[in-house]
């Protein structure tokens, strides 16, 4: 499905800091509402329906997405830093394909 996702996580932070995590992925997000202009048949829905962010294996943020989400979806959220570790971001689409990306965070 989607090609390389992009995530932005600060490399270093202090414990107790609230950081902003940004993500962007390229995806068509076919809504399932459109018709093929030539045949008149509905184009089946193919969207990313789940976005999950784990930190050291525990889910810290997750969201279900629906057809109103735009193509090339951007998602940002805040996170309160506790310890050093690794984020893992996972996008899952209707075809069951997943794309994930990892990013490290060091507490200084």
Partner 1 sequence: MKRKALVLAGVGAVALAVPSVMTFAAEDWGQYQVGDKRSGYTFAKAETRAIQDDDFENPGMLWVEHGEELWETVDGEAQKSCKSCHADASDTMKNVGSTYPVFAKDIGKLENVENRINRCRTDNMKAKPWKYDSRNMLGMVSYVKRQSFGQPMNVKVDGDAAPWFEKGKEFYNQRRGQLDMACKHCHVDNAGNMIRANTLSQGQGNGFPTYRLKWQKPGSLHRRFRGCNKQVRATPYKTGSDEYLALELYVMYRGQGLPVETPAVRN
Interacting residues with partner 1 (CB under 8 A): 3-4, 6, 8, 22, 24, 26, 29, 70-72, 74
Beta strands 6-8 and 18-24, pairing class: antiparallel
86's CB contacts (< 8 A; 6+ apart) are 55, 56, 102, 103, 104, 105
Residue 93 CB, nearest distance to partner 1 (Å)?
Answer: 16
Q: Which is nearer to partner 1, 56 or 67 (CB)?
A: 67
Q: Which is nearer to partner 1, 4 or 57 (CB)?
A: 4
Residue 74 CB, nearest distance to partner 1 (Å)?
Answer: 6
Q: What does the buried/exposed string (b/e) look like for 63-102 if buried means 16 or more CB atoms within 10 Å of the residue's CB?
A: eebeeebeeebebeeebebeeebebbbbbbbeeeeebebe
Q: Which is nearer to partner 1, 24 or 52 (CB)?
A: 24
Residue 27 CB, nearest distance to partner 1 (Å)?
Answer: 10
Q: Which is nearer to partner 1, 49 or 84 (CB)?
A: 49
Round to whole Å and give the CA distance between 8 and 45.
29
Residue 83 CB, nearest distance to partner 1 (Å)?
Answer: 25
């Amino acid at each position: 499905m989607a090609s390389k996702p992009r995530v932005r996580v600060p490399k270093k932070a202090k414990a107790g800091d609230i950081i902003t995590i940004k993500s962007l992925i390229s995806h068509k997000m076919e809504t399932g509402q459109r018709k093929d202009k030539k045949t008149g048949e509905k184009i089946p829905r193919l969207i990313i329906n789940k976005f999950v962010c784990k930190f050291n294996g525990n889910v810290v943020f997750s969201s279900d997405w629906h057809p109103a989400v735009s193509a090339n979806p951007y998602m940002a959220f805040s996170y309160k830093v506790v310890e050093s570790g690794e984020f893992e971001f996972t996008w899952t689409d209707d075809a069951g394909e997943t794309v994930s990306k990892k990013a490290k965070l060091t507490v200084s």
